[in-house]
Amino acid sequence: MTARPLSEYHEEMGPVLWWTFPITEPPYVGSPLDAGTPVEITIRDSVRNYTYTQHFGGWPGYHTHWTPLPPAPDEV
């Protein structure tokens, strides 16, 4: 199996395994389009509402190469 560069990935490929080199951590599973889980915080006072949204998780952005996901097992 050969790791392919980020430039060869397109969104129709769906989730894949993302790697950094040298390999120092497990791969990220997903897509560069993954935004993570949005968490919204609203603070209300007597005059205004303040809303802040932050995404947690999702594409870390520093992986440079990818490989396809392995096939799913046929049996449990």
What percentage of the chain has pLDDT greater than the value 70? Answer: 99
User: How far, in Å, CA of 63 to CA of 51, rounded?
Assistant: 31
pTM of the model: 0.70
pLDDT of res. 1:
81
Helix, strand, coil share of the chain (percent; to 5)? 10, 35, 55
Mean predicted lDDT score pLDDT of the chain: 88
Task: Kindly tell me if the per-residue pLDDT of 56 is higher than 80.
Answer: no
pLDDT band at 16 (very low <50, low <70, confident <90, very high): very high
Where exactly are the structural domains of the chain? 4-67
Measured CA to CA in angstroms, residue 40 lies from 5, 7, 13, 34, 60 at distances of 34, 33, 30, 18, 20
CB 28: neighbour CB atoms within 10 A? 21
